Structure 1
Amino acid sequence: MEKDLQNKEAIEKLKSMAEDIRFCMYTTYANEKIESRPMTTQQIDENGNVWFFTNRNTDIGDGSNQGEPVTLIYSEPKNNTYISVSGKAEIVEDEAKKEELWNPMAKAWFPEGKEDPNLVLLKVTTGEAAYWDATSSKMVVFFSMVKAVLTGTTPDGGDHGKLNLA
């Protein structure tokens, strides 16, 4: 069922789905090539901005692409949950935010801790998002598809829609 959400409701839906999945493919377009790399979501804030830690010595962490358009693709096939987020990326120098987001798992990537000189914050300001949420069990999805084949109808794909975060 199509269900577009607005403002706070849209932000809450994005937060609940993406923070549960946590990992996304961070996708950029440069030199006529689409590139994706896995990233761990640290937070989705009250405005729908997505926060990551990254290394200053990478192509996305060096700050040379401030305002670069990006797409974040979240996928949890086990639960039939998917999100696509489009926005603009920027490196943010904010020690208080770094402190707020720091967690023990980040130490695996930044062994020197939150004081690591190569640790930077990456913020994606969300422009638009879409979601597909069919959290039914695999058996329910299977029977929905069988019913659709037998009746000539379309299977129930669960909820989907656009998230207008403005």
Structure 2
Amino acid sequence: MEKDFEDREAIKKLKSLAEDIRFCMYTTYSDGKIESRPMTTLEIDTDGNVWFFTSRNTEIGDETNRREPVTLIYSDPKSNTYISVSGNAAIVESEARKEELWNPMSKAWFPEGKDDPNLVVLKVTTDEAAYWDSTSSKMVVFFSMIKAVLTGTTPEGGDHGKLNLVG
């Protein structure tokens, strides 16, 4: 069933779906080439912005100061949840934000800790998203597909829609 959301309801829906997945493919387009790399979502704030850590020594950390257009792809096949988020990325120079976002798991990627001079905060200001969410079990989805084949209809795919995150 198609369900679109606007503004605060869209942000609430994004947070409810993406925060449980935590990992996304951070996708950029540069020099005629699409590039994706896995990133760990640290937070989705009350405005729908998505926050990450990265290193100045990476392409993302080195080249993102120009509000680069990005797409974040979240996928959880076990729960049949998929999200595509569009927005613009920028490095945020803020020691306070670094402190707020730091968690013990971040040390795996940044062994020098939150004081690592190469650690930077990356903010994706979101514009819109699309989601597909079927909380049904795989067996329910499978039988829905069989029914569709036998009846010549389209299978019930759960909820899907657009999230307009810009008010």
TM over 0.5: yes
Q: 1:64-103 counterparts in 2 under 5 A?
A: 64-103=64-103
Q: What amino acid maps onto 2:81 in structure 1?
A: T
TM value normalised by structure 1: 0.98
CA contact (8 A) 2:64 2:89 kept: no
Q: CA deviation at 1:78?
A: 1.0
Q: CA deviation at 1:118?
A: 0.5
Stretch deviating more after TM superposition (58-67 or 106-115): 58-67
What are structure 2's unaligned runs of at least 5 residues? none
Q: Provide the C-alpha distance between the structure 2 equivalents of 1:55 and 1:70, rounded to a whole number of angstroms.
A: 17
CA contact (8 A) 1:70 1:88 kept: yes
Change (3 A) 1:42 1:26: same
The aligned counterpart of 1:59 is 59
Q: What amino acid maps onto 2:125 in structure 1?
A: T
Identity %: 80
Q: What amino acid maps onto 2:92 in structure 1?
A: V
In the TM superposition, structure 1's runs of 4+ consecutive aligned residues that sit over 4 Å from their partners are none
The aligned counterpart of 1:158 is 158
Q: CA RMSD in A?
A: 0.9
Q: What amino acid maps onto 1:80 in structure 2?
A: N
Q: CA deviation at 1:64?
A: 4.9
Q: What amino acid maps onto 2:153 in structure 1?
A: T
What are structure 1's unaligned runs of at least 5 residues? none
3-state SS, counterpart of residue 79 of structure 1: coil
Q: CA deviation at 1:65?
A: 4.3
Change (3 A) 1:25 1:64: closer
**Count of residue correspondences:** 166
CA contact (8 A) 1:81 1:134 kept: yes
Q: What amino acid maps onto 2:160 in structure 1?
A: H
Change (3 A) 1:65 1:30: farther
